[in-house]
Every structure is written in C-alpha cells, then in structure tokens.
Amino acid sequence: MSANTPAVDGAKLVRERRLNNAKKNWALFRSDAPALIGAVVLLFFIVIAIAAPLIAPASMLDVTQQLDVPRYAPPSLDHPLGTDDLGREMWVRILWGARVSILVGVAATVMSMLIGTIMGLAAGHFSGLFGGFIMRIVDFFIVLPSLLLAIVLSSVLERGVFTIVVAIGLTSWASTARIVRSQTLSVESRLYIERARILGAGHSHILFRHLLPAVMPLVLANTTLTVGGAIIAESTLSFLGLGDTSKESWGTILKNSMDVSAATSGYWWYVLTPGVAILLVVLAFTMVGRAFEAIINPALRSR
Amino acid sequence: MTDLHFENVSITYRSSSDRGDVVAVKDVSLDLPAGATLGIAGESGSGKSTLIMSALRLLPKSARLDGRVLLGGQDIRELSFGQIRAVRWAQASIVFQGALHSLNPVREVGSQIIEALEHHSKGTWTTPQKRRDRMFELLAEVNIEAAKSTAYPHELSGGQKQRIMIAMALACEPDIIIADEPTTALDVIVQKQILSGLARLVAERGISLLMISHDLAVLSAVCANLAIMRHGRLVEYGPSDDVCLSPQEDYTQQLAGAFPQIGDPESRLNPRTRRPAEVARAEPFTKTDEVVLEAKDLSVSFDTRRGRERAVRGVDLQLKKAEILAVVGQSGSGKTTLARSLLGLQEVEAGSQLFFAGKPLPRKAKELRAFRRQVQMILQDPAGSLNPKRSVYEAVVEGLKVQGIKDREYERVVGALAAAELTPAEDYLESIPQELSGGQRQRVVIAGALALDPQVLIADEPVASLDASVRGEILSLFLALKKNLGMSALIITHDLGLAWNIADTVAVMKRGEIVEYGEVEKVLSDPQHEYTQELLAAVPRLGSQSLVRNE
Amino acid sequence: MSTPTHDPHSGDRPDRGTDTATPGTDPTNPSPASAKGTADTAETNPAAVDMDEPPAGGSFARYFLRKLGGAATSMILVIVLGFFAFRMLPGDPVLKIAKERPMSPAQIAELRSQYGLDKPVIVQFWDYLVGIVTGDLGESYVYRKSVSSLIGEYLGPTLLLTGTAAVIAIALGLWLGQLSAWRRNSLFDKLASSTSLIFWSVPTFWLGLILLMIFGGTLQWLPTGGMITPGLDPWSPAGIIDVITHLILPVVSLVAVVYAQFLMIMRASLLEEMSEDYLTTARAKGLTEDEVRRRHAVPNALLPTVTVVFLHIGGLVAGAVTVEAVFSWPGLGKLTFEAIRGPDLPLLQGTFVVFSAIIIVMNLAADIVYRFLDPRVRRA
C-alpha cells in the first residue's frame, strides 16, 4: 500500500473492524458458560503444570524418600488424593503428569495440524495425478485408525516423550485433512477463485491469499478440539506401555495402577484421579474448541 | 369452492439476536375469490413468501401472525393441528420451486405424489392401486412419461421437476394452488411451457391460483390481478394490466420499467433506471471496425459421463472496438464455455483459432497472464465473486498484485472505482462485501476488472442475480464504459431484453452453435432462424395475461 | 448453498477430476451440504425437455471395481508399511529386543537369521510378500508359535466383542441422535449431548477400569476378566450365558465412547437436514411432524451419517486393544497388548496387518451399502 493519507485512514478502519470483531467474538465466547468454565479449568491445569517444580519439588516423586509414607493410603487430610503402591502422593504425580500430558497433547496437535492442513489444501486444490495421489494418501490415513498406526510407530522407535509426540502427530492428521479438504473444495468452487484466475493469479496466489485464510479459522478451532484427542491418545499409548516410563504422565499413572490391579483391589483413588484429570482437561479443550467453532461458523452452533 | 382472504395480516419473526424482532409482513389485505388468479410481485425481502406460507400455517414457530387469514371462511389460526393438516393439500396446495430442493432427493418422485394421496384420499383414492392409477393420470396431465415415476429428483431436468411439483399440487383436487416462484431458474422456453401448462390446468378445473414471483412479466402473463409488495407492505394492488401498463406508484413504475419491451424504441440502447451512468465524453465512442477479439471455427469438447460432448461447435465471432456484443442462449447452449475459451481459461479443440488484436492467443502461462490484463471477465454472481473476508480495496487491487503492477496503486484503485461509479470511492475502500448491496458488489467486481485497464470486458450474466431495480443501473454502466472508454464488451445472457437494452450486435446460440448473428435491431425485429423466433415468442410480455389468452 | 446458475459445462470443467469435484459421491466427505452439491449441478441443468435430463447412472460393476481398487491400494500400503515400519526404521528390531532382555551375541545372531535379517532387504520383502499371500506371518517370539495360528485363535473373540459393540453403538447412537436433533434444546437433548461429550472425553480403557472397579470389584456382580469361566462348554446354554456375562463390561466400555460420537454426528446431520425445503413440502402435504421426521428427514440425514459411522468403526476396532487388555478378553487386542509387552515384533506386525485388513474390508462394505442407500451416488 502506498503512503497516501486516505489509505492510512483505511488501515485504521480495518484495525477498528478487527477490534470490533474481536470484541464481538469475545462477547460471544463470554456468553457461552461451558466454554468459560473450560477456559478456567485449562488455565488452572496449565498454571499447575508450569509451576509443578515450585509447588511440589521433584524429590517428592523419589521412591527412596517415601519410605515412611504409607502405601495405598486412601484420600485423607494428610494425603489429599491418597498414595500409590510406592507411597508417592497421588496429587504430586497428577501435578507432574499434567506437564507431560498437556505438552504431548499440544505438541502432537501442532504437528498433526501442520500436516493435515498442508495435505488437505493440496488434496482440495490440485487436480490431476498429483491431486489424486494426495487424495489416496489422505484416504488411507482416514480409513486406518490412528491408534493402530501410533502403536506400530511407537513400538519400533526409541521410547520417549518425543516418540509419542511423533507417533500421535504423524498418524492423527487425517481428520484435519478431511475437514480442510472439504472446506477447500467448497471454497475452490466459489466464483472469487475463478475471478482470481481471470485476473491472472497462479497457484500460490490462490493457495495463500484465498484458500489458506479461508481454512485457517476452521483449523484453529479444530486444533483446540484435537488437543483433547491427542491427550487421550497419549494416555492410551502410555497405558499400553509405549510411553516414557521415566516420566510422569497421566497415562503412565493409569498403567501403574493396572500393573498393581488397583481396580480390582479397591484402590479406587489410584484409578479415579488420573482419569478425572484427563476427563477435565479434555472436556475443557472440547468446550473451548466448540465455542471457537460456533464463533467461526454460526451454522455449526447446533453441533 | 374455497376462497382465501388475508385481512390486515402482519407477520413478525421473533429473534433473539440484537436485531430484535423482524417485521416481514405489515398490514397486508388481499382477496383471492374462488376461481380467481392473483399474482404477488416483490423483490427478495419483500415478505411475499412469508405471506403465502401463512395461508397454510407453515411459518416457523418464531413467527407471530396478527390479523386474520381466512381459508374458506375459516380463520386458520383457530383450526386444530389435525384440522389444518386435513386442509393442507386437500383444499390448498403449493407448487414450490421444484428446481431447488423441494422434492425429497432420496425418494422416487412417484411415491412422493402418492404420499399426498394417502393423506387425503377424499374417499376416492382409497386403495394403493387407485392411488397409483391417479398418479399416472397426473403425470400424463403434465406431460411426463409414466416411466419417470420411479426416477429420483436428481435424474430429472429442472423443467421435469417443476412438472412433477405441479402434478403433486393437483393430486388431491385442491380448490386453491399457491405457486412459489414456479419458474425461477428455468429457461424462457421451458418457463413458457410450465406457465401455460399451469394456467391451462388451473383454468380447466376452476382452481384459484395465487402466484408469487420477482418477475412482474411472468405474473402478468398468467394472473388477472396483481399485488406489488415491498419491505413487507402492499404497494399497489389491482387488475394486472392496470398495474403493469399504467402503474401508479413510483416503485411499481421502477419495477415495470426494468422489463425491457423488445421492439420498444424508447428502451433501445437505453436501459431504464433512476441512476443512469454518466457519459463524460463530449464525443462518446461508438462501434468501430477495428477487430479486437476474434474466434474462428472455435470448438470445445468435454468428457462427460455421456461420453465426449461438444459444448461449442465451429463458432465464428468478432468483437470490435467499442462494440457491445450480446451472446444469447439458454443454459446448456455453451455460451459460458465460449466466454471461457475467449479468455484462454478453456482448452479448445485443434483447428480452433483465437486472435486478440490480430495475434493468436498465447498459450504459455506467463503470456496468458499478460493477455488477461487486456481481456477481463465479470462473473455472474457478484456476491460469490468477492472474497467475503477481503475489503473493497483488497478486491480491486488483487488484479494489480497478481499482474505485478506496483506504481500508482492507490490512484488506480480509486480511479477504477470511480469509473464503476462507486463514488466517492474513498468511502467504500475498507467496506467488506457483506456491507454492500448487490448492485454495489457488482460495481466492485467491475472496478476490479477496470483497474487493469483492459480493452475487452467479458461479462457472464452480469445482472441475472440482481434485483430488477438494480438491473438498469448496471446495464447503463456498461453502456457508459463503452462510450467513455471505448471499451468492447461481450455479454453472455439468457435475456434477449438485455441485448435490446445495450448491445450493438447479438449472437444467438443453441447447442454450441451460433444460429443467428447480426445487428440487434435486425435480429430482434426480423428474426430469421426458427430458434430465435421461438426464444422471442417465449419472452413474457408485461400485461395482457398473454400466456392464458394465447393458449 | 446458493450455486450460481452456470452453464452446466462450467460445473463439469474437465480440468478438475470429477471424483474430486463432486464431493457428494465421495464417501469420505459426508457433509450433507456437499451431498447437495451433486444435486445442485444436476439441477442447474435444465433446458429443452429430454436432452437436459441428467445422464443415467454408471454401472454397479464400475463403481464396485473403483472402490475395490481403492481398498486394494490401501491394503498394499498397509502391507508395505507393515514391512518397512518394522525393518527399516532406525534401530534394528533384534537389537531392540536384546536391549530389553539379556541375550548373548550368539542368540542375537540366531534371532537375526530366524527373522531373515541377514538377507538383503529386497529378499526379505519378497519373503514377506510370499508369506502374506500364503498366510505365513512368521513366528511369534514370545509364544513360540506361528503368528497366523495365533491370530486365527484370537480372531473370533475380537469379532464377537467389536461386532456386538458396533451394533449396539450404532443403533443407540443413531436413535438417540435423531431424537436429540428433533427435540433440539429440550432437556432430553441437553442431557444426551452433555453425556456424550463426557464419554467422548475419557479414554476407553479408563472407563473400562472404572466399570471393572465398580461392577467387578466392589459389587462383584460381573466377572472381572476372560471370556468364559474355565471348564464350561461355550456352546451349552450355561456357557452362552456365561460368555454374555463376561461380554457385558467390555462391550459397555466400547459402546459408551463410540455411541457418543455417533449420536453427535446423527444429531448434526439431522439438524442440517431440518431446514430443507422438501420438509416444508412434506408438511404442506399434511404429514404429521412424526411422519415428516421418519419418512423424510431421517432417511436423508442417515446418508452422511452412515459414512462417518463406518469410518469410526476403525476407531472402535482400535479401542478393542485397550479394552481387551483391561478385561483380559482373549482377542486380537490382548494379543497386540502382549506383543507390545514382549516386545514381539512379528506378532505385532501380524496383528497390525490383520486389524487393518478388517477395517479396510468393513469400509469397502460401507461403500457398497452406501451406494444402495443413496440414489445420487448411483450416478457416479
């Protein structure tokens, strides 16, 4: 844009409109009680995850230092969430587990969104052999459940948090790609894409100026929804023994509880607490994500 | 026999959004005596659809009805749900826009007709066999072969679907038929068949007909009485010919004026509008002999499910400087494909020759891009042609950006907007498409093309999706562009009246071929080809209930 | 969706593959809006009476072959992936095993030759392909048995478990979903939707653990694991009842998580259908609300739902892995769980290939069913 005064005024107008939009969206979000509660819950878990070392030093997880703590102590004033088979406080484990679970959830989602958006855009925009090839790959990943592929990947790679992220990220992008693809196809059929072609635009102009901005809001809303799925996937992989056993995560806690048959031996707090933590966080992400989705697309408000 | 009265009807949609309640219909009184025909004309948002839906109590729960709707003397609000269900279709039925989604897409059309009979057997269609016989009888009435009863809606053409809708409406021998835009999205020739068929069937049976449309001419071709609605209010109401030919109200005059009377010298090269575009040049450009764009023996084929089909066959066409050429044809005639080929957006068959300014059309991507600076196209639907997320400035500047034109960007944009008569241009720069009216959006699209300083504009149905009152404005803009800038334009349309309004020359296309090509006056006043004659005859004329009386 | 009335040819531009341009015929793209897209292109196609009729549908054989081709491609990808994931990724699988259980170099060498790892990759791949075709999936390291016989042994219980769960989840989800949509914003809708959101937000296996804890542990109403009490004849009446009691908890855990998804999909697609014009036609014809729903709205809403439901069946099958582990259900999932613990890579590879094959076959079946359900796809 040139340095003309009226044009600058225009930029201001744009800024005002964006600000107004943001205000309107915030008002919409605020009026959605579940989403607000979700946001608060998320904030809470993120804060405790970051502050875990301050609240409960890592030594509290060291088994050798818990010799005088009763094992399998049910929740009480002394042990708010009970203790596990090695005398560790459940609340400390949940605290530290939040770090890995949320980190893996977010990191895997970012990876999956990147791949999904690129593949979805490519599948929707390009035609001919290349488009068909991309489409085939997307279809393949849509049909095969990501958990199965993630199991395979994480069992052949070195155990570790990074492996889990890669295993989930590499396998869970198909649903994003599907959404992005159908949105791309629908935008692609709009006249303004045809108009851009008439004006002389090439692939890159259409992809980055029209298609990407059109799918971005959808991708962002989907991101929030996907984090929940990724956290569940992390817990599942850890539960199957594919996680990093040296690091606390909610899935690892559940695996430990399974190893000591906590469910059938009456140590209910051992099973319940990590699950409730997962439920709360996933539900919170889902609520926030649905609110985003509703803001972007009023027609979806019913879903 | 049943009559229908609207007495001081107001309909309000309660809305929880900040816009508050929306008044869709305000204090409308209309009468439809038994056996009468009444048309309600109005543009989108006039409340005409809401009004007729109230006749059978089909409004959504959020709508509140004040006043009385009397069907056969009964206030429909006093009927129980069971009673209103019995009244629906048996006493009054509706012909919806069959071309859209009014038929269930996953059920055979025959069974959808039978379903109506099952609910209102009226002691006549009591057995499945009798209902089947009745269904075939109805199909025969509307000229649909019996075999089509097992077809699904998507297997039928728009005209066929509309006939099915009419057969369905007739099924239970109602006293009143309400037709909701029955021919929108159909071609003129099919439109004529549907309308005259409907008019005949209704007249034979003494059924009263209530028809709504945005198209005054369509209504006046069938209905004896006409009502004009605007913003939920009744503007004018009276006998068809009075309303059309000597309208009293401003708005009616505007609506009636929007329909060109082909052959009427007053509207020749003079689209009627209250906002004519300004011609600034002292000596306006007129058609020259310098050929800008030319097609020789142009053929285009597609692979379709039916095999390879030729959409354009051996077309020869010349567009001269400062000429407006109208290519007229029905949908499927290949006119859009022709336009796309002229822009190099479409693969053409070997042997086809395209020239711009005497040189063959380039084939390489880079040269094509440069060529598109010279030849621009306006698409049919301005709402769809603009990215809803981008401002007017961004939309107009897009062409400059992709063409790599960097100097005087701001001036070019403002200049183009001014040329498209969107003034003062500065006020619109940061608007987004949703904030503009249909006509304004079309001006933005035109400005986007003008920003590149093209020599040729190709426009695909530039006014088809605009309200009638805006039509004249945009057409007069095309004329002004020709006169002021010496621009050439090729306008694709289904509307012969458009050609009469602005074009120098007209080419009539049928099934991919140009069947008649020449000066507008000559072709339209003395058509040589049978198809041109047929098209001309099918154009509904204002007033005189032409379709009913001619049959 | 307002599709501008183009010439039909601009909708049928040859530069777009028809496959990709008509999303309604693409079962992986089930949004009802796009299904309408197909109908739209057909409708903007009027003009003179007969020429304009959209062309008749393609043959079933062609459709079937195309879908079969797609399934075959997926299967080939699975097989290739099954090979390369397990042999080509960083880290020699044998060394990996060796790391987790102490082994002498001689043992390692023996293992290597047993897996054929001393041969060139291409030969290994060939052996692997021959093996798959002849039903030889190698030998399990943990069980010391052939993988195919193990899978054969454990396949039945998995099919019983996932099959039962699938039928219940589909029936329940679709039924509750359409009720929910029709009574939108009622108490029932709110309850149904929020319950499904909660079920959606928990890991399947955790739900299993909780159920196990309550009904197997505390209340002791139902057995805590296995498929049948040892010693009972599964085909005797007592045996069948015993199997059913064993089946309840794992089925409930699987159903709970999956039905919720089906409910939400059905609800959304019926809601989208509810503003359609043909429902107004039906109402105007004098149908009751119930008839409008049953005869018109639901059949249309089912179509997009069916495809998504079948796609989620894959997830249900995968969910069996953890549920079988929790309830010691002697199926492929438990076998997978054991294989992970081993680690028993040949067994894991085998279960991966077989699981994938099951899912691919089910999706092929779904495509074929879909063609019969939706007349519009018959044109494709």
Q: How far apart are CA C273 and CA B545, in angstroms?
A: 39
B460 three-class SS: strand
Task: Calculate how close chain C gets to A277, using CA atoms only, in Å.
Answer: 10
Query: The tokens of C177 are what?
Result: 């979903």
Query: Cα dist. A111→A115, A169, A182 in Å?
Result: 6, 5, 20
Check pLDDT > 50 for residue A9: yes
Stretch A91-103: mean pLDDT, rounded?
A: 86
Task: Calculate how close chain A gets to B366, using CA atoms only, in Å.
Answer: 9
Facing residue for C284 by CB, picked from B58, B153, B381: B58
How confident is the model at residue B323, as a pLDDT? 94
Q: Render pLDDT for C110-168 as a digit per residue (tens, 0 to 9).
A: 777 766 667 777 888 888 888 888 888 777 877 778 888 888 888 889 989 998 999 99
Q: Which among A25, A92, A102 has a CA at the least distance from the CA of A63?
A: A92
Check pLDDT > 50 for residue C42: no
Continuous segment of H or E residues that includes residue B308: strand B307-320
Q: Which among C311, C288, C284 has a CA at the least distance from the CA of C366?
A: C311
Q: How far apart are CA C340 and CA C324, in angstroms?
A: 14
Q: Render pLDDT for B329-361 as a digit per residue (tens, 0 to 9).
A: 887 788 888 998 998 888 888 888 899 888 888
C120, exposed or middle or buried, with CB in 10 Å at 0-12, 13-18, 19+? exposed
Q: How far apart are CA C113 and CA C107, in angstroms?
A: 10
- Provide the pLDDT confidence category of residue B544 given band limits of 50, 70 and 90: low
Check pLDDT > 50 for residue A275: yes
Answer with the residue of higher pLDDT: B501 or C218. Answer: B501
Query: Cα dist. C63→A129, B362, C67 in Å?
Result: 20, 40, 6
According to the per-residue pLDDT averaged within each range, which of A14-28, A275-289, C46-60 is highest?
A275-289
What fold, for B2-258?
Rossmann fold (3.40.50)
Q: How far apart are CA B53 and CA B32, in angstroms?
A: 15
How confident is the model at residue C302, as a pLDDT? 86
- Strand B359-360 and strand B375-378: pairing? unpaired
Q: Do A191 and B384 touch (CB under 8 A)?
A: yes
How confident is the model at residue B177, as a pLDDT? 93
CA of residue B205 relative to chain centroid, distance: 30
Task: Calculate how close chain C gets to A26, using CA atoms only, in Å.
Answer: 23
Q: Domain C60-379: which CATH class?
A: mainly alpha
Answer with the residue of higher pLDDT: C104 or B210. Answer: B210
Tokens 């935008």 locate to A187
C368 touches chain A (CB under 8 A): no
CA of residue C168 relative to chain centroid, distance: 14
How confident is the model at residue A5, as a pLDDT? 42
Q: How far apart are CA B504 and CA B520, in angstroms?
A: 6
How confident is the model at residue C14, as a pLDDT? 32
Residue contacts between A and B (CB atoms, under 8 Å):
79
Stretch A245-250: mean pLDDT, rounded?
A: 83
- In degrees rounded to 5, what are phi and psi of residue A179? -65, -45
Q: How far apart are CA A64 and CA A67, in angstroms?
A: 6
How confident is the model at residue A8, as a pLDDT? 45
A275 touches chain C (CB under 8 A): yes
Q: How far apart are CA A63 and CA A65, in angstroms?
A: 5
Tokens 């987004």 locate to B432
- Provide the pLDDT confidence category of residue A120 given band limits of 50, 70 and 90: very high
Q: Render pLDDT for B4-16 as a digit per residue (tens, 0 to 9).
A: 999 999 999 887 6
Tokens 């007709």 locate to B113
Q: Render pLDDT for B152-194 as a digit per residue (tens, 0 to 9).
A: 888 888 888 888 999 999 998 899 999 988 887 788 888 888 8
SS (H, E, C) C254-310: HHHHHHHHHHHHHHHHHHHHCCCHHHHHHHHCCCCHHHHHHHHHHHHHHHHHHHHHH
Query: The tokens of A224 are what?
Result: 């929030």
Facing residue for A271 by CB, picked from C77, C197, C213: C213
Give the count of beta carbons closer than 10 Å to the beta carbon of residue C378: 18
- With CA atoms as reference, the chain C residue closest to A226 would be C201
Q: How far apart are CA B372 and CA B361, in angstroms?
A: 10
Q: Is the dihedral of CA A188, A193, A198, A200 positive or negative?
A: negative
Q: Do A14 and B391 touch (CB under 8 A)?
A: yes
Check pLDDT > 50 for residue A4: no
How confident is the model at residue C37, as a pLDDT? 34
DSSP helix, strand, coil percent of chain A (3-state; round to 5):
80, 0, 20
Best probe of the C interface among B89, B210, B305, B461, by most C CBs < 10 A, is: B305
Task: Calculate how close chain C gets to B282, using CA atoms only, in Å.
Answer: 39
Q: Which among B462, B516, B107, B449 has a CA at the least distance from the CA of C279?
A: B107
Answer with the residue of higher pLDDT: C31 or B20. Answer: B20
Stretch A44-52: mean pLDDT, rounded?
A: 87
- Domain boundaries of chain C, sorted by first residue: 60-379
Answer with the residue of higher pLDDT: A72 or B227. Answer: B227
Q: Do C23 and A185 touch (CB under 8 A)?
A: yes
Task: Calculate how close chain B gets to C33, using CA atoms only, in Å.
Answer: 12
Q: Render pLDDT for B373-403 as a digit per residue (tens, 0 to 9).
A: 899 999 888 888 998 888 898 899 999 988 8
SS (H, E, C) C339-350: HHHCCCHHHHHH
Check pLDDT > 80 for residue C34: no
A52 three-class SS: helix
Best probe of the A interface among B387, B412, B442, B452, by most A CBs < 10 A, is: B387
> Using CB atoms, which chains have 3+ pairs under 8 A with C?
A, B
Query: Cα dist. B260→B7, B256, B546, C83, C375 in Å?
Result: 35, 9, 16, 73, 43
CATH of A29-62+75-300, one of 2.30.130.10, 1.10.3720.10, 2.70.150.10, 1.10.443.10: 1.10.3720.10
- The angle at the Cα of A122, spanning A116 to A124, to the nearest 5 degrees, equals 95
Q: Render pLDDT for C61-107 as a digit per residue (tens, 0 to 9).
A: 888 888 888 889 888 888 888 888 777 555 566 666 666 666 777 77
Check pLDDT > 90 for residue C345: no
Q: How far apart are the first and last CA of chain B?
A: 25
B233 three-class SS: strand
Facing residue for C14 by CB, picked from B154, B303, B306: B303
Which of B147-156, B297-306, C278-287 is the least confident region? Answer: B297-306
Q: How far apart are CA A208 and CA A210, in angstroms?
A: 6
Is the interface score ipTM higher than 0.85?
no
Residues 6 or more apart whose CB falls under 8 angstroms from that of A193 comprise A187, A206, A210, A211
Tokens 């102590």 locate to A73
Check pLDDT > 50 for residue C26: no
Helix H segments across B18-108?
A: 48-55, 81-87
The chain-wide mean pLDDT, for chain A, equals: 82
Instruction: Enumerate helices (H) and strands (E) in chain C, giving the number of each.
Output: 16, 0
